[in-house]
Chain A
């Protein structure tokens, strides 16, 4: 799965503010993610992790501040793979139809082969013709991850990617993320606590009330950030 070879892109959030009505989701947040970095975002519910990821995916426009890019800046949108809380898959289509649709939209080369490979990788070959609405939460999450990886993205934005996955699924996801990280992908993922997925990160940042409360690359503080030990 770690076949991406395009030069990596970094993200620079400068004084980002996002307000929904009178409520601040993000408040004067400044953060730089270097090209090829694997960053774990931790924080309590409502601390702004999802909003930050949606701004990074350019799905939400910040109220104030700017998002800019470093490294490879060509056609950013086409190189982003995004996994959200929701599965972003059509219930009335089968797993294969969902992936084929997005492969066509993203102009993936050899879409049938790519879809088949990903269905195999996420363990859904036997259920490829079943409608997504008949899937369990974990199976839907596998479809969501496969959709995000279809076009071999070089920037991965994953919002709690292990949600609903069984231990085998988590192990597969950890292996996939590890190979993508090693291949030079920039990864920004929100996590809850210490886990196999969180341990892949080369840097951990804790958000609190929409701002960066802690930021570290290694050491004891790394685990503390993920486990909220000093929160």
Chain B
């Protein structure tokens, strides 16, 4: 019971601090927008080319944006040593991870949903007829990004080259997630859209495995 009530209190704190500072959401939206717009300048894609390359490009932009967004996740708990206060106050440290994971996934999903119409217009890809299915893929992909990113953010926050460490650890680890999300998105953008359950199952398995690992080993990641 205390896990859920602690998670909810900490999730509220994450939302409140972010919506007050708007640091993460603003920078991530701008970053994805710049990447998507720049790519659209470098080649003038036909609708067929967009369907082929668009999903990969989109998920690469999300991946890099996630590594940017997740960087300060634990780093900003260090400035005033608030992480120590949390460790002393919360009986189960998994609550700290769950709250951060929930907030990170929500922020990622929000920015992705905001960027989808821009992508649709710039790349001439009809996404609105498959929008609900696309949100499912975005959610599972974002959850995977959130779980691995939150865990690695806790590790990299204590490392010496912390700014470099997170992308260095995160990007190779997310290769399977990138492939699965891209394939699932590509199938939805096809002229005959299909929801690929095999890739969705892969994404669910990825999320469950890393969430379990976080639950089992999260406590050690917070130690000094």
- Contact assessment for B88 and A91 in the assembled complex, using a CB-CB cutoff below 8 Å: no
Give the complex CA separation of A60 and B81 in angstroms.
13
Dominant secondary structure of chain A at its interface with chain B = loop
Give the complex CA separation of A93 and B20 in angstroms.
9
Give the complex CA separation of A49 and B81 in angstroms.
17
Verify if B223 is at the interface (C-beta below 8 Å from A). yes
User: A60-B224, A82-B84, A105-B90 known; A90 and B17 CB under 8 Å?
Assistant: yes
Contacts of B90 in A (CB 8 A): 105
**Which A residues from 154 to 194 make CB contacts under 8 A with B?**
none
Give the complex CA separation of A131 and B16 in angstroms.
12
A87 contact from B13, B80, B89, B91, Cβ within 8 A: B80
- Contact assessment for A105 and B87 in the assembled complex, using a CB-CB cutoff below 8 Å: no
Verify if B121 is at the interface (C-beta below 8 Å from A). no
Verify if A152 is at the interface (C-beta below 8 Å from B). no
Give the complex CA separation of A88 and B84 in angstroms.
7
State the interface size on chain A (CB cutoff 8 A): 28
Verify if B71 is at the interface (C-beta below 8 Å from A). no
Verify if B10 is at the interface (C-beta below 8 Å from A). yes
**Which A residues from 89 to 111 make CB contacts under 8 A with B?**
89-93, 97, 101-102, 104-107
Give the complex CA separation of A106 and B88 in angstroms.
9
Interface size, B (range) = 20 to 34
Contacts of A147 in B (CB 8 A): 85
- Contact assessment for B16 and A88 in the assembled complex, using a CB-CB cutoff below 8 Å: no
Verify if A77 is at the interface (C-beta below 8 Å from B). yes
Give the complex CA separation of A60 and B224 in angstroms.
6
Give the complex CA separation of A102 and B20 in angstroms.
19
- Contact assessment for A88 and B82 in the assembled complex, using a CB-CB cutoff below 8 Å: yes
Contacts of A102 in B (CB 8 A): 85, 89
Give the complex CA separation of A59 and B84 in angstroms.
7
- 1/0 per residue, CB under 8 A from A, across B5-38: the answer is 1100110010011001100000000000000000
Contacts of B9 in A (CB 8 A): 101, 104-105
Closest to A106 in B: B89
A89 contact from B82, B87, B88, B223, Cβ within 8 A: B82
Give the complex CA separation of A101 and B88 in angstroms.
13
Give the complex CA separation of A54 and B123 in angstroms.
55
18 contacts between A and B (CB under 8 A): A60-B223, A80-B88, A82-B84, A85-B81, A86-B79, A86-B80, A87-B81, A90-B80, A92-B16, A93-B16, A101-B10, A101-B13, A102-B85, A105-B9, A105-B10, A105-B89, A106-B89, A107-B2
In the complex, the 8 A-B pairs of residues with the closest C-beta atoms, listed nearest first: A86-B81, A88-B85, A105-B89, A92-B17, A104-B9, A92-B20, A86-B80, A88-B81
* 18 additional A-B residue pairs with CB within 8 Å, beyond A91-B80, A92-B17, A92-B20: A54-B84, A59-B84, A59-B224, A60-B224, A80-B88, A82-B85, A88-B82, A89-B80, A89-B85, A90-B17, A93-B16, A101-B10, A104-B5, A104-B9, A105-B90, A106-B89, A107-B5, A147-B85
